[in-house]
């Protein structure tokens, strides 16, 4: 379908695979944090590894065998709220 769009010169993505730079090519805005603000990159392996340890009890309580990016950014409000704290 992408190949049918006039002016599009990108390769057609493989179903289920999103290139790591996808968001860079399509962003419309940029966010700048103030000096003392905290943030997490939920795509970073080191972040997910630290959160796995910190949230181990909560993950077990919810029957979640592993914390990955999908779970960290998912619809389980208990998990996302715990990450935000």
H or E segment to which residue 24 belongs: helix 22-26
Neighbour-count burial of 71, counting CB atoms closer than 10 A to its CB (0-12 exposed, 13-18 middle, 19+ buried): buried
The answer to whether residue 59 sits within a structural domain is yes
Tens digit of each residue's pLDDT, the chain (85 residues): 445 556 666 667 677 787 778 777 777 787 788 888 878 888 889 999 999 999 999 999 999 999 999 999 999 999 999 998 8
pLDDT at 9: 67
pLDDT at 43: 86
The answer to whether residue 62 sits within a structural domain is yes
Number of domains in the chain: 1
The answer to whether residue 25 sits within a structural domain is no
pLDDT at 10: 67
**Host domain of residue 82:** 39-85
Residue pointed to by tokens 């392996």:
45
The answer to whether residue 54 sits within a structural domain is yes
The answer to whether residue 23 sits within a structural domain is no
The string over 41-59, giving b where at least 16 C-beta atoms fall within 10 Å of a residue's C-beta and e elsewhere, is ebeeeebbeebeeebeebb
The answer to whether residue 47 sits within a structural domain is yes
The answer to whether residue 26 sits within a structural domain is no
Q: What share of the chain is helix, strand, coil (3-state, %, to 5)?
A: 40, 0, 60
């Amino acid at each position: 379908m992408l190949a049918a769009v006039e002016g599009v010169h990108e390769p057609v993505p493989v179903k289920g695979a999103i290139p790591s730079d996808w968001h860079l090519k399509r962003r419309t805005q940029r966010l700048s944090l103030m000096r003392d603000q905290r943030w997490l990159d939920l795509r970073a392996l080191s972040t997910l590894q630290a959160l796995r340890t910190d949230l181990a009890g909560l993950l077990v309580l919810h029957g979640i065998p592993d914390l990955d990016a999908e779970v960290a950014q998912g619809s389980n409000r208990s998990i996302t709220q715990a990450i935000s704290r």
